[in-house]
């Protein structure tokens, strides 16, 4: 029993199956790891299984992005029915160590990390082509870097497990590693991935590229305050000329336009009644008791835009209507407004009952990179109407908004200092990336979370709440090695 429980940390109880559909790779519980990793197909299927972990509840099917939005001033819960109360508690900074949110984020990330560790432990010695070794190894490192980046931002110090743990004793020996040590390993993984991954992946959309690795690495460096290396990584993405802003912001969210030139890395979904490969975003992010779906559903009420976010859009911003609605008409012809009437419009493809929709989840897109690069340039030095202004205004102009300048005659468009520019980037990221799970992580990264959010929360935001509590289940299993974050 002890073995089965402690392996929640390392998830060394699952191997991979060999399905043909990239979206439909799934673990198989009775496979033997030792007997599985032999052929090219085995390793291809193994890396597909690692990608599939992106669609778990504790990763990008729900909680990573809900933390990014609900823990900020961008969204709130439209219903506390059923198990949604835990998300409402999180949005009010009342999350506890017994929350299913922290439990699933922890468990599903470490399960995903185990997938990558098992593959990486075996790929170098495998009797397969050098090309396959190089690519799947680099993909595994990219994914492991992404999973650890989420963990360290959410929990702070976390156990750093970089190989397949094969005994209970090994699992129990793993305590929390300092944030700096975890970041050092993330950077190592991402740098190695960036140097080995292909520039593009024609007909294999959803697999990682060097651009995805450089983009994520740039965000990691910026989160650490390493401005010089952040600039280099992000500029590598820009200089690759693989990506570009779409002229029409609306086109980003049309499911018929998936895998467009602004997409750098996305979680892949395809609506299917039997395949379990559809996404739940459209259904969940509509209002509670919404009647605009092709079937009756009570699954909505998640991630509802706040009035504060609605008011954050400047007049004439084309992104507002593309991103959210503030009312809808029910079957009785009544206009529903207020909290029950607001919802996101980014995930708009009609779902199939029981089969979800085909809306992908955007983890990294080019607009994100351009704004991060502008932020890094400004952090290095404020240059009036310099290069950083160009990237900021590329985003604004696409949205139908006028450029901001250091010497603008309109005070609302004038940026005269480094701090002015930093706040302009914060505002632009808020509305450009709304509902994509960035706002909370952005505010923590820039040291602005407490200042911005405290006045908007019933009990404010405390310093210790900049990280989440560790799951109580994990601490109870290994109390000598896993200590709770202060304040919880």
**Range(s) of the chain covered by CATH 1.25.40.390:** 2-197+467-477, 220-264+365-457
SS3 313: coil
Task: Report the C-alpha gap between 387 and 377 in whole angstroms.
Answer: 8
Is the CB of residue 8 less than 8 Å from the CB of residue 473? yes
Are 118 and 94 contacting, i.e. CB atoms less than 8 angstroms apart?
A: no
The DSSP secondary-structure symbol of 266 reads E
Looking from the CA of 436 toward its CB, the CA atoms found within 13 Å total: 24
Q: Which two tokens stand for residue 302?
A: 């998640």
Judge if pTM exceeds 0.85: yes
What is the domain class of 220-264+365-457 according to CATH?
mainly alpha
Give the helix/strand (H/E) hosting 40: helix 40-52
Are the C-beta atoms of residues 149 and 220 closer than 8 Å to each other?
yes
Paired strand residues for 28? 15
Say what the pLDDT of residue 13 is.
Answer: 35
Contact between 437 and 65 under an 8 Å Cβ cutoff? The reply is yes
Q: Are 364 and 212 in contact (CB under 8 A)?
A: yes
- Taking 3-state DSSP, the helix, strand and coil percentages for the chain, each rounded to the nearest 5, stand at 50, 5, 45
Burial (0-12, 13-18, 19+ Cβ within 10 Å), 486 = exposed
Mean pLDDT by runs of 10 across the 488 residues of the chain is: 36 33 42 73 94 97 97 96 90 96 98 96 94 97 98 98 86 92 98 98 95 98 98 98 98 96 97 90 96 94 98 98 98 96 96 95 98 98 98 98 97 98 98 98 98 96 98 94 96
- What is the CATH topology of the domain spanning 2-197+467-477? 1.25.40
- d(CA 74, CA 303) in angstroms, rounded, equals 8
Q: Extract the runs of DSSP E, i.e. beta strands, from 287-412.
A: 304-305, 324-325, 328-329, 335-336, 343-344, 361-365
Give the helix/strand (H/E) hosting 370. helix 366-380
186 CB-side CA count, 13 A: 27
State whether the Cα torsion 236-240-246-250 is positive or negative. negative
Q: Quick one: pLDDT at residue 169?
A: 81
Give the separation between CA 97 and CA 80, rounded to whole angstroms.
19
First to last CA, the chain: 28
pLDDT, position 135: 97
Q: What pLDDT does 32 receive? A: 56
| Nearest residue to 27 (alpha-carbon basis) of 45, 54, 4, 6 | 45
Which whole-number Å values give the CA distances from 217 to 107, 212, 239, 446, in the listed order? 24, 8, 15, 17
**DSSP labels for 88-112?**
HHHHTT---TT-HHHHHHHHHHHHH
Beta strands at 343-344 and 335-336: parallel, antiparallel or unpaired:
unpaired
Tokens of 409: 């005659």
User: What 3-state DSSP class applies to 196?
Assistant: helix
Tokens in use for 259? Answer: 């895998």
3-class state of residue 207 by DSSP: coil
The DSSP bridge partners found for residue 361 are 267
Element (H, E) at 114: helix 100-123
**How many other C-beta atoms are found inside a 10 Å radius of the C-beta of residue 356?**
25
Taking the C-alpha atoms of residue 438 and residue 440, their distance in angstroms, rounded to an integer, is: 6
Residue with tokens 């740098």, as numbered in its chain = 191
Compute the radius of gyration of the chain from its Cα atoms: 22
Residue 80 has phi, psi (to 5 degrees) of: -110, 20
- DSSP conformational letter for 429: H
Both tokens assigned to 227: 């401005």
Q: Which residues of 208-226 are buried (b: 16+ CB within 10 A; e: fewer)?
A: bbbbbbbbbbbbbbbbbeb
């Amino acid at each position: 029993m002890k073995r089965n429980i402690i392996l929640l940390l390392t998830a060394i109880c699952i191997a991979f199956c060999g399905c043909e559909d990239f979206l439909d790779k799934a673990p198989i519980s009775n496979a033997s790891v030792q007997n599985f990793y032999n052929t090219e197909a085995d390793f291809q299927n193994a890396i597909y299984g690692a990608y599939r972990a992106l669609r778990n509840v504790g990763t990008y099917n729900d909680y990573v992005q809900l933390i990014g939005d609900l823990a900020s001033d961008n969204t709130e819960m439209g219903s506390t029915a059923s198990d949604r109360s835990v998300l409402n508690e999180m949005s009010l900074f009342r999350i506890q160590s017994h929350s299913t949110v922290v439990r699933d984020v922890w468990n599903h990330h470490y399960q995903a990390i185990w997938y990558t560790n098992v593959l990486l432990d075996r790929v170098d010695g495998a009797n397969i082509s050098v090309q396959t070794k190089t690519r799947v190894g680099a993909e595994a490192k990219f994914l492991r870097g992404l999973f650890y980046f989420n963990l360290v931002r959410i929990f702070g110090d976390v156990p750093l497990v970089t190989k397949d743990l094969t005994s209970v004793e090994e699992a129990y020996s793993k305590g929390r590693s300092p944030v700096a040590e975890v970041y050092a390993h993330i950077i190592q993984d991402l740098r190695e991935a960036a140097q080995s991954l292909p520039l593009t992946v024609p007909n294999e959309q959803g697999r990682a590229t060097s651009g995805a690795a450089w983009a994520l690495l740039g965000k990691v460096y910026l989160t650490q305050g390493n401005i010089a290396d952040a600039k280099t990584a992000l500029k590598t993405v820009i200089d690759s000329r693989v990506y570009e802003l779409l002229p029409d912001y609306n086109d980003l969210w049309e499911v018929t336009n998936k895998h467009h030139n602004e997409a750098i890395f996305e979680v892949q979904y395809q609506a299917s009644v039997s395949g379990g490969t559809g996404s739940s975003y459209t259904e969940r992010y509509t209002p509670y008791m919404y009647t605009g779906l092709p079937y009756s559903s009570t699954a909505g009420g998640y991630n509802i835009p706040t009035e504060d976010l609605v008011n954050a859009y400047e007049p004439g911003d084309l992104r507002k209507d593309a991103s959210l609605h503030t009312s809808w008409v029910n079957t009785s012809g009544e206009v529903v407004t207020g909290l029950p009437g607001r919802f996101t419009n980014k995930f708009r493809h009609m779902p199939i009952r029981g089969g979800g929709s085909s809306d992908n989840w955007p983890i990294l897109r080019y607009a994100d990179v351009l704004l991060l690069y502008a932020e890094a340039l400004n952090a290095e030095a404020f240059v009036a109407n310099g290069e950083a202004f160009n990237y900021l205004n590329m985003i604004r102009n696409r949205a139908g908004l006028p450029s901001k300048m250091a010497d603008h005659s309109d005070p609302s468009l004038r940026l005269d200092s480094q701090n002015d520019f930093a706040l302009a980037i914060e505002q632009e990221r808020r509305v450009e990336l709304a509902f994509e799970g960035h706002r909370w992580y952005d505010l923590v990264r820039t040291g602005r979370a407490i200042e911005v959010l405290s006045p908007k929360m019933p009990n404010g935001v405390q310093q210790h709440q900049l990280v989440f509590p560790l799951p109580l289940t994990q601490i109870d299993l290994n109390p000598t090695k896993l200590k709770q974050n202060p304040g919880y």
